[in-house]
Structure 1
């Protein structure tokens, strides 16, 4: 049982949908004040309303340093403290290398990698003053471990996040701030709606546990990294993928016993 986190404040970027929404809801259920950050104020406020009176929404683009400073200030104005940052905002437009443009590449890097840096930089003054903080980055298995056609820019951004984590954790350790990353596999979100049962079944067939992950699976990992119990864990990654990256071939999955 995790020690109480109630009363602390978390900022969740990209918190209005998908994994970010799951993280925001899980932290709200744990009793934290939640600032849901999204490029859409309407969507951020809608998610905050689902969480309850301890949550509120804020519109910001994490690739803009001034907007990141603004969401940090909003958290301080509304809740008086910043304890946890879940740097979750990310985009994943597909483009294979023969058609990918410089603009395509830069757009992904600006949100996924630069946005992580800018979000962390924005919360540091408050965390350093408190001499306590938890930073949880949402990376991916794609890039650091696996690859997928059309996502070279996305994979590079997600691998880059882990390089950032490994140095940031050293720099911030003197202030009692930990920096860790969750690495989701295939997770069932609204982004998969409309792809059809056959497509989802094919995705599930590559996972030893034979199901897609839920946003709650990722949120529980993020909540652990934010806890007091995880205070001696920093610079680490947690793969949450149902064992997807482990089989060396499809034959290994075919050899699984049917229970």
Structure 2
């Protein structure tokens, strides 16, 4: 199966490291015009360098609707309509699991802003041009936490990712008449960024062994495994696939 994206314009959010970087590299290596977004300026520049000259970086907080509208408009003015949007921005924003009574309003909203509101704002910004052209691919990156529970015990993260999965299904039906597909990748635990490295270390040997024992393949995956599923959803091979959530987790 040869998948290519020559001439396609792609936006990848949360591209400073981890899944986002692997996804951006996947599109860049397959001929796409890639625009990467993140709040991490240093990591964003590293990803752009790795991807090559055809990749442009944009400093963006996806939880800021006005900023999202401005950046997407600039991308469309420069590269034409966006063909593919990958909503990868997310994470726990430095938080750790705590009892429900200790969670502040700010803690709750901070995680929702990037994991759910940002996904909505980005999709909202690209939808008009996708509708006009009657073509589009939107791929959201959720988490196993959105289908079950958060390994870290962070209530807002599990809730936001579950909400993103619901949004995926809703948008698939709303945008489907314009030949826009909306799908979701739910990764299992992957050591792909500083946060997941801290989580891995915090598990200790016993916790790590237990995690691996609960995976059918008895091993952790890689960021490239997540990127591969994104490439499929974005390709012509998935032209009649929409509203789906695929777990890429080694089997549970």
Please give the alpha-carbon distance, in whole angstroms, between the structure 1 residues aligned to 2:146 and 2:42.
32
Please provide the CA RMSD for this pair.
1.7
Give yes or no for contact 2:150–2:157 (8 Å, CA) kept in 1.
Answer: no
1:122-150 Cα shifts (integer Å, max 9, x gaps): 11122112210000000111132334352
1:58 aligns to what?
58
2:249 aligns to what?
241
Structure 1 ranges of 4+ moved more than 6 A: none
Normalising by structure 1, we get a TM-score of 0.88
Normalising by structure 2, we get a TM-score of 0.91
Tell me the secondary structure at the aligned position of residue 139 of structure 2: strand
Structure with larger Rg: 1
Give yes or no for contact 1:8–1:81 (8 Å, CA) kept in 2.
Answer: no
Please give the alpha-carbon distance, in whole angstroms, between the structure 2 residues aligned to 1:71 and 1:210.
42
From 120, 135, 138, the counterpart of 1:135? 138
Q: What is the deviation of 1:201? A: 4.4
Tell me the secondary structure at the aligned position of residue 181 of structure 2: strand
**Range with greater deviation from structure 2 (7-16 or 203-212):** 203-212
- Which ranges of structure 2 fall in alignment gaps of 5 or more residues? none
**Range with greater deviation from structure 2 (68-77 or 106-115):** 68-77
Tell me the secondary structure at the aligned position of residue 26 of structure 1: helix
Please give the alpha-carbon distance, in whole angstroms, between the structure 2 residues aligned to 1:34 and 1:27.
7
2:87 aligns to what?
87
1:27 aligns to what?
27
Are residue 212 (structure 1) and residue 212 (structure 2) matched?
A: no
1:37-76 Cα shifts (integer Å, max 9, x gaps): 0013332222111101111100011111111112212322
From 229, 232, 236, the counterpart of 1:228? 236
Q: What is the deviation of 1:202? A: 4.5
1:158-195 Cα shifts (integer Å, max 9, x gaps): 00011111111111011110000000001121324465
Please give the alpha-carbon distance, in whole angstroms, between the structure 1 residues aligned to 2:18 and 2:78.
25
Please give the alpha-carbon distance, in whole angstroms, between the structure 1 residues aligned to 2:123 and 2:236.
20
Q: 1 or 2, which has the higher helix percentage?
A: 2
> Between Structure 1 and Structure 2, how many residues are aligned?
244
Please give the alpha-carbon distance, in whole angstroms, between the structure 2 residues aligned to 1:201 and 1:78.
49
1:171 aligns to what?
174
Give yes or no for contact 1:37–1:71 (8 Å, CA) kept in 2.
Answer: no
Tell me the secondary structure at the aligned position of residue 74 of structure 1: helix
Tell me the secondary structure at the aligned position of residue 210 of structure 1: coil
Tell me the secondary structure at the aligned position of residue 98 of structure 1: helix
